[in-house]
Structure 1
Amino acid sequence: MPMNTDRIQTSHVGSLPRTPELLAANERFQAGEIDLAGLGAALDAGVADIVRTQREIGIDIVNDGEYGHTTSGAVDYGAWWNYSFHRLGGLTPTDEDRWQTAEKRRSSPGNVVLTSFPDRRDRERFREAYEDPTAGVLAHRASVPQPKITGPLTYTGQDAVAGDIRRVKDAMAATGATQGFLAALSPGSCARVRNEYYATDEELLYACADAMREEYTAIVDAGLIVQIDDPSIAESWDQVNPEPTVEDYLDFTRLRVAALNHALRGLPEEQIRFHLCWGSWHGPHTTDLELKHLVELMLTITAQGYSFEASSPRHGHEWKVWRDHPLPEGKVLYPGMVSHSTNGVEHPELVADRIEQYASVVGRENVIASTDCGLGGRLHPQIALAKLGSLVEGARLASERLF
């Protein structure tokens, strides 16, 4: 994960729009007509195409578009998490979709009460908007049931992650890309399914850590960067109802960070980057926890790079946080310079301004321009690719001014 030497490098968070052929194959998979192996041909062609597209746009650090993470359709806010259901043993399928089913459960430490999506505090505050299908707050999505944990968690995705690695490395070789990454689920997010086996949160989290470590290790051993997807660090704040104290929430979160660091032990930091966000849905997000409360804890995660929302309307001002929280030496930031939550395509000058703001507080060598979150499943393909183009052009403009 080299730092910038003569220009601002670019990347993105992972998910990119799927091809029509891959969406059709995923639909057949969801219907039980084909298995994971049956997705192979569509994945081979799709990954080759999306890596070539990234390189043609000018993205420096590329990935497979998360094509190997099964999706329920063109709109899917949860593929980053749902893919793990097909790579873990110890799960039993259910017909419950946590986006639609209300539930509450007490978690520890911090003695917080987690609710499901319908009971989130942002949704309570804007109930009419969330329930209006024409408002654009929640786009139409297929219902995706989540399993429950009924036995010891094990990792069963060896063939799947090997396929992800092979496809992205083949595509990188074909296009001359020298830096690549693959996304993988964090223990804290893995543990959000219903648990009927482990006695405590700690047991559950460390079981998730031991299972998912196999995926992290495979990606790193292949010479790629592993991106740890962990919206739960920030997003769960809105899922705690009633609102907790910040300290109680941080106690709750520290255990999740400890489990992640356990999973990452011994792996090279320069091949690890961590992604934090406040959720993919296009809601008001007025109950997001501010970055200033999370930044020090985030920096204790064993990673060289940290990716987070930096251009959304709720978080675009938070570059100032880094004035009071110096970036440790050798670390790199991947702030989002374009957003997944709006159809407006950011002007390259705005992108350049945002890059320069971060460079002014953490140094030009430590800012890799990225996206707020994955663009696939959240934006129309034309808009998503236009945003990547604006990101690259903005980075070029900023580079002319900073180097």
Structure 2
Amino acid sequence: MSDRIRTTHVGSLPRPADLLALINASDRGEPVDEAALAATVESAVHDQVRLQAETGIDIVSDGEMSKIGYATYIRHRMSGFEIGDAPRATPADLDAYPDYKEQLHRSGATVAYLRPICRGPIEYENFEPLETDLATLRSAMDAAGVETAFMNAPSPGITALFQPNEYYPDEDTYLGAIADALKVEYDRIVAAGFDLQVDSPDLGMGRHNKYKALSDEEFLVRAEVLVEVLNHALRDVPADRARIHLCWGNYEGPHTFDIAVEKVADLVLRAKPATILCEAANPRHGHDWAGWAAAKIPDDKVFAPGVIDTTTNFVEHPGLVAERILRYTDIVGRERVIASTDCGFGTFAGWGGVVPELAWEKLRSLRDGAAIATEKLW
């Protein structure tokens, strides 16, 4: 649209309690009434799409209601993964402050999930969950009168970060196998009429997580490979049908080891997706607009800055939301900015720092801030 600032978000929304009980039990391999699980997911998606429409979100999602986690759900769709025990990389900023790390652990604020490990050849073999997700989102959109939606899928790099490799001879071969399998999901999401959002924290969070032993320069060499592999998987997806989400980790913490946006901006801009969702609200990345302003941004790129923080229960004032939006319209123009959130409100099922009622209040502030920015720009 060229007459106002549109709104969207990063994808995940808080799952309702009845769904959480079923989806967590299913992920653990416990006996679950599959018909009840399917009906609960369908009902939750319809509710979430309706609430997004009522709240004033223009580009909606299914809230990732069916997924246990944004990158770990793939083990239910692809071969080659087994649940096992493998060392997990922790963020460098938590390692640097052990007292805070212990406080998080005691409070239960750290993520707990089953650890999928690659121990065999990867193939996309179970199409039913994806096809069900696509059909459910379309049905919910029709019921709510919504025209535009996106669906999330992980990047090859973040998939490799969460699922360690014990089968392929090296990381690049592993990334290629993941990319080939993810291409199936990418293509089908777009063919179903939705925009594809690729979640790619590997280009931000990966620096102080999986690659924390490297220097910034060494990490950027690896990040070039991650972008190349992603672009290969997206080769049949039109750029204007794809979004990429850059993230440094959706957790409240020091974030003192986050790589500067100035260092990764050119790489992110070389990724195929036309729309870039980036952190712009939390205290560590609220200044990132200056880094983007210094980058050479192609004319076909659209920015969806996160003008709402997803780790705190403070509800941003619409006036502040508008200020954040205007910083980005100053960089790329009013027609190339969509107001979004820093990250999701339910990155993993049952985990998130913002309580559901305030997540929706924050989205209403997002809507109101976009309206204020629109008044100033048109």
With the shorter chain as reference, the TM-score category is: over 0.9
Which of 135, 142, 146 is residue 173 of structure 1 equivalent to?
142
Percent identity for Structure 1 against Structure 2: 39
What's the CA shift for 1:175? 1.2
Which of 62, 65, 68 is residue 63 of structure 2 equivalent to?
65
Matched, 1:82 2:72: yes
Partners of 2:25 and 2:177 lie apart in 1 by 31
Deviation string, structure 1 residues 96-122 (Cα, Å, up to 9, x no partner): 5xxxx45xxxxxxxxxxxxx11xx320
Aligned in 2, Cα 1:171/1:139: closer, same or farther, shift over 3 Å?
same
Residues 324-333 or 282-291, more deviating = 324-333
Aligned residues of 1:121 and 1:241 also touching (Cα < 8 A): no
SS of corresponding position for 2:122: strand
What's the CA shift for 1:164? 0.9
Which of 2, 7, 14 is residue 5 of structure 1 equivalent to?
2
Aligned residues of 2:8 and 2:59 also touching (Cα < 8 A): yes
TM-score by length of 2: 0.94
Matched, 1:394 2:369: yes
Aligned residues of 2:318 and 2:366 also touching (Cα < 8 A): yes
Deviation string, structure 1 residues 194-236 (Cα, Å, up to 9, x no partner): 2121111111101000001111011000010010011111111
Residues 237-246 or 86-95, more deviating = 237-246
What's the counterpart of residue 287 of structure 1?
257
Say what the alpha-carbon RMSD is for the aligned residues. Answer: 1.7
Aligned residues of 2:152 and 2:197 also touching (Cα < 8 A): yes
Q: AA paired with 2:182?
A: M
SS of corresponding position for 2:233: helix
Deviation string, structure 1 residues 23-81 (Cα, Å, up to 9, x no partner): 122133134112766521001100000000000000000010011212xxxxxxxx111
Aligned residues of 1:225 and 1:272 also touching (Cα < 8 A): yes
What's the CA shift for 1:147? 2.0
Residues 219-228 or 277-286, more deviating = 277-286
Which of 124, 130, 154 is residue 95 of structure 2 equivalent to?
124
Aligned in 2, Cα 1:228/1:157: closer, same or farther, shift over 3 Å?
farther
Q: AA paired with 1:55?
A: A
What's the CA shift for 1:246? 2.0
What's the CA shift for 1:327? 2.4
What's the CA shift for 1:156? 2.4
Aligned residues of 1:322 and 1:362 also touching (Cα < 8 A): no
Where in structure 2 are the equivalents of 1:1-400 lying within 5 Å? Answer: 4-31=1-28, 32-34=30-32, 39-70=37-68, 79-96=69-86, 101=87, 116-117=89-90, 120-133=91-104, 139=109, 141=111, 143-192=112-161, 193-239=163-209, 243-376=213-346, 377-378=351-352, 379-400=354-375
Partners of 2:117 and 2:169 lie apart in 1 by 14
What's the counterpart of residue 110 of structure 1?
none
Deviation string, structure 1 residues 229-255 (Cα, Å, up to 9, x no partner): 111111111125765332211101111
What's the CA shift for 1:284? 1.1
SS of corresponding position for 1:325: coil
Partners of 1:241 and 1:325 lie apart in 2 by 24
Aligned in 2, Cα 1:247/1:140: closer, same or farther, shift over 3 Å?
closer
Aligned residues of 1:261 and 1:301 also touching (Cα < 8 A): yes
Counting matched residue pairs gives 371
What's the CA shift for 1:134? 8.3
Specify every segment of 5 or more residues in structure 1 that has no aligned partner in the other structure, as ranges: 71-78, 103-115
Partners of 1:229 and 1:241 lie apart in 2 by 18
Aligned in 2, Cα 1:268/1:240: closer, same or farther, shift over 3 Å?
closer
Aligned in 2, Cα 1:241/1:324: closer, same or farther, shift over 3 Å?
closer
* Structure 1 runs, 4 residues or longer, greater than 4 Å off: 35-38, 133-136, 240-243
Aligned residues of 1:29 and 1:35 also touching (Cα < 8 A): no
Partners of 1:240 and 1:177 lie apart in 2 by 39
Specify every segment of 5 or more residues in structure 2 that has no aligned partner in the other structure, as ranges: none
TM-score by length of 1: 0.88
